[in-house]
Amino acid sequence: MHATDTILKFGFPLGMLGGARFRLSFLFPVAMIAIIWRLDSFELGLLATAILLFSVLIHELAHLLVARSTGGEMDEILLWPLGGLEEPYGRGYLHDHFQTMLAGPLTNLLLALSCMVPLYADQVSPLLSPFSGFNVPAGESLTLTAWRMAFLINWVLFVINLLPVTPFDGGVLLRTYLSTRFSEGESRDLMVRLGLVLGMFGILTGFVFDISGLVALSAFVMVLHLHENMRWYEFVSEPDEVSEFHIGQNHDSPDGEFFDDESDLSDDPTASADVSEDWRLGVEEQRLRQEREERRSEEQQVDDILQKLHLNGRDSLSSLELQILNRVSDKYRNRRQHN
């Protein structure tokens, strides 16, 4: 990845396909080692990894095709064991973005259903739990094992990508919807909090029920959202204005004097209510200032990107600049649709 912003998105280039740069996440070799270890078979581990890579590739190609058909773009695709870590960006219509993001999971669902054709019901039912594990009965043919593997892998990709946390498709859809209702900072804050809560809950659940896969997945979600949280607040560089707002300050005084002691509040029955109201208004003013700063920063970024686009063309823009430009476009267009 050029100019990678996090080790979690480090990958190896695979070349171009459909006009998009494909890369393979370093997590794929890690997943391959884990699969070989769990299956206790090098041959079966390689077979499962090959099926997983094919299923994830089809998942991302579905995103790419639908994105292009709705006027969107996917310049870069980073394959990881559960889909892709780079989001497609569209032309600004919420329904087009929903179609694009749902294309991947629905493709995996169709593949899973097709894999059920040569299987019996008693062979499918033990695989419906995403973290139930995979066992190979003695004497089972390699062909039947491959069909069961393909069903389980595609079923897991479908179920997990519906989770309402990023980087999964369900989380991207939820964040897109929130961005039409709230400011950029508020929607990202909600998504980060949700990711941290579900990540912690998943880790605890995995430890309680001894589900190592759930622990690993939840830990990745937590680390990703912690990094997203730090990167966002570094980008916004918001001042801590609440700490500068002194609750004990008499804002009606032209000299900005402070109450000397608590008796000043108790002597005047309305003083405490006035200070509380002043504090509430100060917090609200701070929130509005923060939103204005976010908008100004966002507008400045977009202006710089548009200037660069005008002077040097689209090819001069980095992947991050393209994402910023299309994200802002999506947000404003979706807001107009809902107004």
pLDDT for the residue numbered 240: 46
pLDDT for the residue numbered 26: 92
pLDDT for the residue numbered 43: 94
- Work out the average pLDDT over 59-86: 89
Are 203 and 232 in contact by the 8 Å Cβ rule? The answer is no
pLDDT for the residue numbered 149: 95
C-alpha to C-alpha distances, 66 to 107, 130, 139, 210, 245, nearest whole angstrom: 11, 27, 42, 39, 50
In angstroms, the CA 169 to CA 300 distance is 29
pLDDT band at 87, cuts 50/70/90?
confident
Which of 105-119, 195-209, 234-248, 301-315 has the least mean pLDDT? 234-248
pLDDT at residue 269 above 70?
no
Per-residue pLDDT of 28-59, as tens digits, reads 999 999 999 999 999 999 999 999 999 999 99
pLDDT at residue 71 above 50?
yes
Q: Please return the burial class of 105, using the count of CB atoms within 10 Å of its CB with bins 0-12, 13-18 and 19+.
A: buried
pLDDT band at 235, cuts 50/70/90?
low
% helix, strand, coil for the chain, step of 5: 65, 5, 25
pLDDT at residue 64 above 80?
yes
pLDDT at residue 259 above 80?
no
pLDDT for the residue numbered 253: 45
Give the chain's radius of gyration (CA, Å). 25
243 Cβ contact partners less than 8 Å away, ≥ 6 residues apart: none
Are 321 and 305 in contact by the 8 Å Cβ rule? The answer is yes
Q: Provide the mean pLDDT of the chain.
A: 79
pLDDT at residue 287 above 80?
no
Domain ranges of the chain: 7-166, 182-236, 263-338
Higher pLDDT among residues 152 and 261, named by residue: 152
Higher pLDDT among residues 225 and 105, named by residue: 105
23: which strand partners? 13, 78
Report the sign of the C-alpha dihedral through residues 296, 298, 300, 303, in that order.
Answer: negative
Q: Within 10 A of 161 (CB to CB), how many other CB atoms are there?
A: 24
